[in-house]
């Protein structure tokens, strides 16, 4: 499992319904060290190759992949697209120290698994990343937010940063991700969606 970003940062259905939740992250002041850590994480373009500590972990990953693929088949019917999506979500969420099921729940709420989703406020892609982030920690190319792995990497990195800012309080971090910190509707929607993507431990 890769968790370098977490350490570095510490140094649905209908258009109107998902658009109402779509991420509206606010541009906030951040320490230079956090900005650099996020920027370095985004620049890391290695493909999502999982690393396992032992054979049992590899088998568990394969079981998870099969189970999640079955659950997601209706939303992403193309087998190859679905497999690449799940591999990328697993890799990027683990890399950022986030629960993969929670990230899948967030994507369900944010975009209903639509790669080219654009919200009313301009957030883009699976994790509904606001374009200003490409200026803050990226190369200013907003079109990359429609690239699957790039979008997932931005989204997971940003959520990890918010989780660290909120001292591990997921409820507040989710609110901050959505631009509605302190209001219950969005965090509750993500936490409810998370239930669908939990995998037995």
pLDDT tens string for the chain (201 positions)?
444 544 443 443 333 333 444 456 666 666 666 677 778 777 776 667 888 999 999 999 999 999 999 999 999 999 999 999 999 999 999 999 999 999 999 999 999 999 999 999 999 999 999 999 999 888 899 999 999 999 999 999 999 999 999 999 999 999 999 998 989 999 999 999 999 999 986
* pLDDT score of 31: 64
The domain total for the chain is 1
Residue 52 CB neighbour total at 10 angstroms: 13
pLDDT of residue 27: 65
The length of the chain in residues reads 201
The H or E element containing residue 24 is none
pLDDT of residue 200: 84
Which CATH number covers residue 28?
1.10.530
Our CA angle for 13, 15, 19, nearest 5°, is: 100
Query: What's the CA gap between 66 and 133, in Å, rounded?
Result: 33
Q: Tokens 């999640």 sit at which residue?
A: 68
Domain range for 28: 4-197
């Amino acid at each position: 499992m890769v968790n370098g970003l977490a350490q570095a940062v510490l140094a649905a259905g209908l258009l109107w319904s998902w658009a109402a939740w779509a991420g509206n992250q606010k541009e906030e002041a951040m320490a230079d060290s956090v900005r650099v850590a996020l920027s370095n994480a985004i620049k890391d373009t290695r493909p999502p190759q999982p690393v396992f500590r032992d054979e049992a972990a590899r088998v568990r990953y394969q079981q998870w992949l099969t189970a999640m693929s079955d659950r997601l088949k209706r939303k992403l019917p193309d087998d190859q697209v679905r497999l690449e999506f799940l591999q990328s979500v697993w890799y990027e969420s683990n890399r950022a120290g986030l629960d993969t099921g929670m990230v899948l729940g967030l994507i369900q709420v944010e975009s209903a698994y639509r790669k080219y989703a654009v919200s009313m406020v301009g957030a883009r892609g699976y994790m509904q990343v606001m374009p200003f982030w490409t200026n803050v920690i990226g190369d200013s190319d907003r079109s990359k937010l429609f690239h699957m792995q790039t979008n997932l990497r931005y989204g997971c990195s940003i959520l990890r940063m918010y989780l660290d800012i909120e001292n591990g309080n997921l409820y507040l971090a989710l609110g901050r991700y959505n631009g509605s910190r302190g209001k219950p509707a969005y965090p509750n929607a993500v936490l409810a969606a998370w239930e669908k993507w939990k995998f037995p431990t």
